[in-house]
């Protein structure tokens, strides 16, 4: 294990290098304020998020909140946890590992423009500091609940996404839910096998309005 700077650890496993994220830092903003102020923002400054901001956003989405039982921030039917989070930045594509609150780089290429093109050419997506793609392994839930499990997975991704949007507000960032995209293109782009993409969420700094 190697200590890198003051922010995070990097360690190597059989499946590749892992980055340990800093622990989430709670803000002083109330949940009511976040709900009131949340809006879908489609104009972003071309500015990178800090590792701390990325850490907070990933933790509220799928972070472990009960280490003894492995429960996560978003509710899941039968605690089956079918969701998997990826995010793209200028540094490449990363996969979130909830159990260790760490990330693993899966590609070095900046995929934000490619994701935007797969999302019906909504090119504002490419300007966001991080572009989250939430995917699901449906069989994690359907093995237990059968076809009803499909509905449960769709419910769960809504819980997860709402946490992301509200945390973005708490961090004074902007976000927008994206459901329009070509599934096959996005799967090929992220090199997904059995996982299905369910949601794209660009998160970044809102573009400041120009003064007249």
Is the predicted pLDDT of residue 170 greater than 80, yes or no? yes
Angle, helix 148-170 to helix 51-62, in steps of 10 degrees: 150
Q: Can you tell me the mean pLDDT for 8-35?
A: 80
pLDDT-derived band at 142 (thresholds 50, 70, 90) equals very high
Helix, strand, coil fractions of the chain, as percent rounded to 5: 35, 30, 35
- Give the three-state DSSP class for 129: coil
- Report, at the CATH architecture level, how domain 25-204 is classified: 3-Layer(aba) Sandwich (3.40)
- Contact yes or no for 63/73 (Cβ under 8 A): yes
Phi (first) and psi of residue 12, to 5 degrees:
-110, 135
* Rounded distance between C-alpha atoms, residue 2 and residue 189, angstroms: 31
| CA gap 163, 174 in Å, rounded | 13
Residue with structure tokens 């939430």? Answer: 134
pLDDT tens digits, one per residue of 57-98: 999 999 999 999 999 999 999 999 999 999 999 999 999 999
Q: What share of the chain has pLDDT > 70, as a percent?
A: 91
**pLDDT tens for each residue of 104-137:** 999 999 999 999 999 999 999 999 999 999 999 9
Domain parsing of the chain, residue ranges: 25-204
Structure tokens at 125: 């997506």
For residues 130, 21, 75, 67, the Cα torsion angle rounded to the nearest 10 degrees is 180
CA neighbours closer than 13 Å in the CB half-sphere of residue 87: 24
| CA 19 – CA 11 distance, rounded (Å) | 7
Dist CA 75 CA 71 (whole Å): 8
Q: Residue 16: its pLDDT value, please?
A: 55
């Amino acid at each position: 294990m190697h200590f890198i700077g003051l922010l995070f650890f990097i360690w190597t496993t059989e499946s590749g290098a892992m980055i340990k994220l800093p622990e989430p830092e709670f803000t002083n903003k109330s949940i009511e304020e976040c709900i009131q102020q949340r809006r879908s923002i489609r104009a972003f400054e071309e500015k990178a998020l800090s590792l701390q901001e990325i850490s907070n956003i990933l933790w509220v989405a799928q972070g472990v909140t009960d280490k003894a039982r492995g429960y996560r921030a978003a509710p899941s039917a039968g605690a089956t946890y079918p969701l998997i989070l990826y995010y793209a930045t200028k540094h490449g594509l990363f996969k979130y590992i909830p159990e260790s609150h760490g990330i693993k780089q899966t590609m070095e290429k900046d995929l934000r423009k490619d994701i935007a093109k797969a999302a019906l050419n909504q090119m504002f997506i490419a300007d966001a500091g991080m572009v989250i793609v939430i995917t699901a392994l449906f069989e994690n839930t359907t093995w237990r609940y059968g076809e009803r499990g499909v509905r449960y997975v769709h419910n769960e991704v809504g819980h997860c996404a709402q946490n992301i949007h509200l945390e973005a507000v708490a961090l004074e960032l902007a976000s927008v839910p994206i459901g329009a995209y070509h599934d096959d293109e996005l799967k090929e782009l992220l090199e997904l096998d059995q996982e299905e993409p369910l949601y794209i969420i660009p998160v970044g700094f809102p573009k400041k309005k120009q003064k007249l």
